[in-house]
Amino acid sequence: MPKRNLLLALLAFAALTNVILADDFQPNQSELQLPPPEGAIVLLGSDTNEFLSKNGQEINWPLEDGVLTSTRGEGRSNHIVSKLHFRDADIHVEFKLPKKGSGNSGVYIHGNYELQIINSTGKKKLDQGDIGAVYGFAPALVNAGKGPDEWQVYDIRYTAPRRDDSGKIIEEGTITAWLNGQKVQEGTKLGEPRSKYHPFRYNTTDYLKTIWEKQKQSSVGPVFLQDHDNAVQFRNVWVKPLDDQAREYQPEN
C-alpha cells in the first residue's frame, strides 16, 4: 500500500476509534456516590484529598466529611489543582450549587477547557456560559442542570489534544460529557484554549507555569476545580486514565 494511502487509513481508523469510544461512553448516573470503577484514582473522597493550591501548597478550601467548598480568592482565581496529571481519561465530579448566588464554578480539564457549573435552572436557550457548556467552545446539547442545594454529577470522557515538538496542536482533543443522566457534549472538538481567564493565563503562578510548559510537550496535565466567588461544594471526584501516561506530578527541586 502506498504511504499516503496507509496514512489515510490510519487516520480514518483513529477517527473511527474516537467515535466508538464516545458512543460507548454511557456512565451510570442513576445513583450518586457510587464506588469508583476499577482503575480509577480518587482525588476527593471520604478520607482522600489529592488537590493542591495553585502554588503547589495545601489548599484553603474547607474540607468536611469528604466535601470541599470553593473559597473566594483574589480575582476569582483561588482554584485548586490535582496532584495527579493524566492525558486521556474519564473524569467524575459531583457538585452542589449554593442556595445564594449564581453558583458559578467549573471543572477545568488540563487548565484549558472548562465544563461549566452555574445555575441555569429553567433556561430554554443555552449559551456557552450555561451549565453543561464547554466554555468558549460549545453550549450544552440539553439543559440537564438542577437547582441549588441538590447534588449533581458530571461524567466526562476527555481526549487531550496532541502537539508537535514546537507545542502546536496537530490533532484536536475531544470532550463527551454527561450531566445528571443526560448527554450534554458529544465529541466536542478542542483546539487552542480560548479564554484568558483560565488558570495558566490569569493570575497564574510559577508552579502552574512550569506545569503548562511540560503539558505542551507531553499533553499530560491536571484537572482544576474553579473558584468564581461562589461557595459551590464538591465531593466524590475521581479520574480513570485511558492510557499509561497518568502520574503524580513531582516538582523539580
Per-residue pLDDT tens over the stretch 64-90: 999 999 999 888 899 999 999 999 999
Kindly state the helix (H) or strand (E) to which residue 45 belongs, with its residue range: strand 41-45
Rg of the chain, C-alpha, whole Å: 18
**Residue 29 domain-assigned?**
yes
What the block records as the C-alpha cell of 84 is 495527579
The pLDDT of residue 210 is 97
Q: Number of folded domains in the chain?
A: 1
Q: How far is CA 72 from the centre of its chain?
A: 20
d(CA 89, CA 69): 24
Check which CATH number belongs to the domain holding 59 and give it.
2.60.120.560
**Residue 49 domain-assigned?**
yes
132-172 pLDDT, tens digit each: 999 999 999 999 999 999 999 999 999 999 999 888 999 99
d(CA 146, CA 129): 16
**Residue 139 domain-assigned?**
yes
Which spans in 79-238 are helix H?
206-218
The pLDDT of residue 73 is 84
Residues near 182 by beta carbon (within 8 Å), at least 6 away in sequence: 141, 142, 144
Strands 63-64 and 151-159: unpaired
Q: Tell me which residues of the chain have a pLDDT lower than 70.
A: 1-23, 253
**Residue 253 domain-assigned?**
no
**Residue 74 domain-assigned?**
yes
What the block records as the C-alpha cell of 137 is 467552545
Range of the domain at 34: 3-248
Which spans in the chain are helix H?
3-24, 206-218
Task: Output the DSSP codes for 184-209.
Answer: EEEEEEE-S---TTSTTTSS--HHHH
The pLDDT of residue 110 is 98
Q: How far is CA 13 from the centre of its chain?
A: 26
The pLDDT of residue 2 is 54
d(CA 212, CA 43): 20
**Residue 72 domain-assigned?**
yes
